[in-house]
Amino acid sequence: MGLCAVLLESPSAAAATESDPSFLHGAGQVVAGLLLEFPKTVLEGTLDGPPVVGTVMGALAGVVRATQKTAAGFLEMGTEFNPWGRKRRRR
């Protein structure tokens, strides 16, 4: 079952990593990192692990994942921020 999920998810993950960075995608990552990643990871840890240990591990992993996703979003926004409005040349 898990292998099927990985195989189904891998093309979309590969396409997401090869796409051009955009300001809106970075903003979406920041919002998802700040609002959604921590509760999602805590819930995953609670459901997948032992009652107390799973929740604690989910909380620790949630802090790390939320920080990582938020930082990645800010970096992507920073690479695409263009304060003077100049057009870049696309290859």
Show me where the domains of the chain are located: 38-79
pTM to 2 decimal places: 0.67
Confidence class for position 2, pLDDT limits 50, 70, 90: low
Percentage of residues of the chain with pLDDT beyond 90: 52
Q: What is the mean pLDDT of residues 2-22?
A: 59
3-class SS string, the chain: CHHHHHHHHHHHHHHHHHCCCCHHHHHHHHHHHHHHHHHHHHHHHHHHCCHHHHHHHHHHHHHHHHHHHHHHHHHHHHHHCCCCCCCCCCC
Confidence class for position 45, pLDDT limits 50, 70, 90: very high
Residue 17: other Cβ atoms inside 10 A: 7
Confidence class for position 22, pLDDT limits 50, 70, 90: confident
